[in-house]
A and B are shown apart, each in its own frame.
Chain A
Amino acid sequence: MATATEQQQGAGVHLLTGSEVMAHICRLADVDVITAYPIRPYDTVMQYVSKFIAEGDFDADYIPAESEHGQFEIVKHASACGARVFTGSSGVGWLYAMEPLAVTAGLRLPMVALVGCRALDDPGAFGTEHNDAMLVRDLGWMINFPDTAQEVIELGLLAYRVAEDPRVYLPCAIAMDGAFLTHSQATVRLPGQDEVNAFLPPYDRGDLLLHPDNPITIAPQANEDWLMEVRRQSSEAAKNSYTVLKEAHADFSKIFGTNTNPFLDEYMTEDADVVLCGVGTLSLPVKVAIREMRKEGKKVGMVRLKWFRPFPTEELRESLSRFKAVGVIDRDYSFGSPYHGGIVYNEIKAAMYGADKVPHLKGFVCGLGGREVLLEDVKQMADKVISMGQNDAADNEVDWIGVRG
């Protein structure tokens, strides 16, 4: 008779949190080395991982480290030695690992890490903000933002597949909204081991493997004669990650029988005049608000970015050019930036520059520190975008929504 755990692990529908799904990805991907250091909300994944190991359902080296810095260094080195690795952190813990985060990307090591998105201190806070994950966006890290526990299957498995592709060899962060996704249970269809094996080949470090039989030096000192070429290689790898991701996503769809867009999740956009844009779990209140606004005859849609790195510039330009106006909702901030908007807003604006047809773009900062994005908030933002579209006039003011005062 199958044990409860065995039943739970089988392919099929389960009630799981986003963190728990990530732990299943580790098990299904047969990760070799995992390091942990406690900080919420990411640490829930380690509770599930250690439980799998303790119950004998999963075999991996599980190392509780002395700090986030050590935690990320250990898996970085393990990755250089050919181990498939997993780790993660949140908020300022993730930032304490910033040195290994930078060198992991610099050394082109395919680490996969869960960022349980959390506000950066101070004040000490643990609700969702995206600034922690976003801080690695310029370093060569790939970053995706799942919006449901189910999507963690796709983005988690793609993370390993793309990161470990020799054309890429870059780390990937799975940026999961704290509480809304890390701690919330939903029904999830888990894939079977055979499907995962068919999709995800073993990690092969090739001739870059750090091993006594393959004498190499990694991470030497280099002067100005060499560094720019190294950076150029990383840029090429980041470009390749786009192509490889498309390829891998096509395989994923075939093997797992899914039908999603690799980069963008569009909702009710076919006849939409305006859309709201953003990343992560705010898609849920946005979708519901859109349904309600549709009843009032307002043609609003949603375009959600699944991947922030690689940034789907072409897809986004093509998509957003269809609308009169676009509102970008940031669950982050970029103080002092153009129009004092958020990171996603500025990035989308930059991507749209020079497109044949550029919609008016308006930025919103919303839901900081784990504050809920309410249906009224979404409707308020949509109305502003609608009126910007109707007036056919640029509105560069970035509005803070849901803030007192």
Chain B
Amino acid sequence: MSVISFEVIYRGIFQKSLAVKISRTLILAAVKEGKPGISFGRYSDSPERNGIPAKQFGYIADNEEELETVAAQYEPKQVDISICVDDTLCKGVESWAWYGLQPINAVTKPGGTLIVTSNQKEDDLVQHIHRRETPYKLAIIPGEASFAGLWVYKDDGTDARCLAAALKAEPTMCSIASLESAIRENIGSETHVEAAREVYEDLRPVEIEPGQGNDEVPFTFELLKWHEMRQGVVIDGVGGHEGFRGGEGGYEPGRNPYFKKWSTRTMRPVVSFEKCTKCTLCWVACPDTCFDVTPDGFFDANMEACCGCGVCEAICPVKDCITMVNEVVFDERDSQWQMWQENKEDYDKYMDEKITTGKIDGRHPITGLAGAFSGIGLETGHNPETAKIKPLKDL
């Protein structure tokens, strides 16, 4: 087998326990068969920030010497398996330690497998994932982004299902029996074991061909040489402001052109300009100054800068004027006000469609974030009537 490497890409803090559990349990399953492994979080993601993308890594080897050979490189440059536990991350990953916005499949090996928990179909989801020159496999585990890692929420079995999917992708890691035994010991219930077994039997990864997917060029930046950098740990400030989209009227604050922040977003505000009374509260309350003032005095949430916190929706006094919508249903980051200006009828249709398909239920009561807080009904098993997510068997 030699060495298998994997990563778990997750939302900081909210999914940390989940990611750690997946990473550790996979190693512990292999350890049962005498294979050594290591599991670790990306050091520079720590201390994690709410919702900001972060990574866990793991190696499983046949023997200690093999393990040392790969572990000598602290952070894997390529992995056999990438596990992504929030499908909104498929648009790109920008950690707070700032490595730039990276494609979700940036370190997935040619021919490796990207496992995503999502309610999207492969064809839709792949539109979000940056295209690349080498093929890889995409495997979807049906489900919303899980916040099961937060202890206050019901466990939805995402951990066990991701483990089974990983084993399916790289079956040489260990036997399904060892995995089941590790799940029993480290996660807990027979329901989890059952959920894992279902995924192991039913998961059908699809091949993604070179060139398939999002054609946006991944953001790159130059790492300056020491003598090219400014002295005194000084960096240029982001100053000034200009009119809306560089025009005469309105107001756009100066923003860092390199650090976009939008990859932190799991949902975005959709604004009904027909209902807006221009009360300014969203513009005042936004903690990221993401609302641009339009020449006619509306407030347009800038989709490059919005973190998706939902404060604007909470503070807006007009019913249904600002609605938070699941980020995964959007394929663009265009100006909503401009869309509305161009064709008000089309914009209303766009808005209705997005709100219908991406309306978020079961929001986190404190953070307001999206996620499968109600779980998929493990307590009642995979009952299609109580579970919001279809069991894999029914797909």
Contacts and interface: CB of A to CB of B under 8 A. Distances in A.
Interface of A: 106-109, 169, 207-208, 215-226, 228-230, 232-233, 236-237
8 contacts: A106-B233, A107-B232, A215-B237, A220-B233, A220-B235, A221-B97, A223-B44, A229-B229
A169 B231 contact: yes
B274 to A, nearest CB: 38
Nearest to B100: A225
Given A215-B239, A223-B44, A229-B224, A108 B98 contact: no
Nearest to B223: A225
Given A208-B231, A230-B229, A233-B231, A225 B236 contact: no
Nearest to A237: B231
Given A223-B98, A229-B224, A217 B237 contact: yes
A108 B233 contact: yes
Contacts of B229: 226, 229-230, 233
A221 B238 CA distance: 16
B236 A215 contact: yes
Interface residues of B, number: 21
B349 interface: no
Contacts of B235: 216-218, 220
Nearest to A80: B232
A218 B232 contact: yes
Contacts of B226: 228-230, 232-233, 236
Given A106-B233, A228-B226, 16 more contacts: A107-B232, A108-B231, A109-B232, A169-B231, A208-B230, A215-B239, A218-B234, A223-B98, A223-B99, A224-B44, A226-B229, A229-B225, A229-B229, A230-B229, A233-B227, A236-B227
Interface of B: 44, 97-99, 223-227, 229-240
| Across the A-B interface, the 4 shortest Cβ-Cβ residue pairs | A215-B237, A215-B239, A229-B226, A232-B226
Nearest to A166: B231
A2 to B, nearest CB: 43
B231 A225 contact: no
A109 B231 CA distance: 10
B60 to A, nearest CB: 25
Contacts of A207: 230
A173 to B, nearest CB: 19
A108 B235 CA distance: 14
A217 B254 CA distance: 14
Contacts of A220: 233, 235
Contacts of A226: 223, 229
A226 B44 CA distance: 12
B233 A218 contact: yes
Contacts of A236: 226-227
Contacts of A217: 234-237
B233 to A, nearest CB: 6
A224 B98 CA distance: 10
Contacts of A230: 226, 229, 233
B46 to A, nearest CB: 11
Contacts of B238: 215
Nearest to A106: B233
Nearest to B98: A223
B237 A208 contact: no
A203 to B, nearest CB: 14
Given A225-B99, A229-B225, A107 B233 contact: yes
Nearest to A217: B235
B237 A216 contact: yes
B190 to A, nearest CB: 43
B369 to A, nearest CB: 24
A169 B233 CA distance: 12
A118 B224 CA distance: 43
Contacts of B227: 233, 236
A223 B232 contact: no
Contacts of B225: 229
Contacts of A222: 233
B43 to A, nearest CB: 8
Contacts of B99: 223, 225
Contact of B236 (A216, A221, A233): A216
A207 B239 CA distance: 15
**Residue from B99, B226, B227, B231 with most neighbouring chain A CB atoms (10 Å):** B231
A311 B114 CA distance: 55
A330 B229 CA distance: 39
Nearest to A167: B231
A229 B229 CA distance: 8
Given A224-B44, A229-B224, A229-B226, A219 B233 contact: yes
Contacts of A224: 44
Nearest to A209: B234
Max chain A Cβ within 10 angstroms of own Cβ: one of B98, B99, B223: B98
